[in-house]
């Protein structure tokens, strides 16, 4: 039990260091940074264009669909890296599993194309 808990110590230290760095950077920049506010600084600003009308205009569902599909297929690519690193150790069984994984990914991709989810009107 002791050896399994001690093997997580480097991960815990790295997490604490990362979180501590982020929190420390935010606190220090908040304390040391300038604090000047004025009417023109407090106005909403978007790409150098004056704001007009309501900012709550609805977006097309296509926009969100493309964004979600991008994230989905982007995350799937992450699974290829460990497989590529351990390719020799996994042998033929790993190859068959990855071919099945890629086939399912391609089926999903062709389904998206058939449903015309990526086409803009």
The single-letter DSSP state of residue 8 is: T
Per residue of the chain (121 residues), what is the pLDDT tens digit?
556 878 889 899 999 999 999 999 999 998 998 888 887 777 766 666 666 777 677 777 788 888 888 888 888 888 888 888 988 898 999 899 999 999 998 998 899 889 888 887 7
Q: What is the residue-averaged pLDDT of the chain?
A: 84
Give the E-state strand segments of the chain in sequence order.
none
In sequence order, what are the beta bridge partners of 46? Answer: 49
| pLDDT tens readout for residues 60-80 | 778 888 888 888 888 888 888
Do the beta carbons of residue 87 and residue 94 sit within 8 Å? Answer: yes
Residue 99 has a pLDDT of 92
Give the predicted TM-score (pTM) of the model. Answer: 0.47
Q: How many CB atoms lie within 10 A of CB 102?
A: 14
């Amino acid at each position: 039990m002791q050896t399994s808990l001690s093997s997580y110590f480097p991960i815990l230290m790295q997490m604490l260091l990362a979180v501590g760095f982020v929190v420390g950077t935010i606190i220090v920049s908040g304390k040391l940074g300038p604090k000047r506010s004025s009417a023109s600084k407090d106005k909403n600003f978007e790409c150098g264009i004056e704001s007009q009308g309501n900012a709550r205009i609805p977006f097309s569902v296509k926009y969100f669909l493309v964004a979600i599909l991008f994230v989905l297929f982007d995350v799937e690519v992450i699974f290829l890296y460990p497989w590529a690193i351990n390719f020799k150790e996994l042998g033929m069984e790993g190859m068959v599993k990855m071919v099945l994984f890629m086939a399912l990914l391609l089926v999903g991709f062709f389904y998206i194309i058939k449903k015309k989810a990526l086409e803009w009107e």
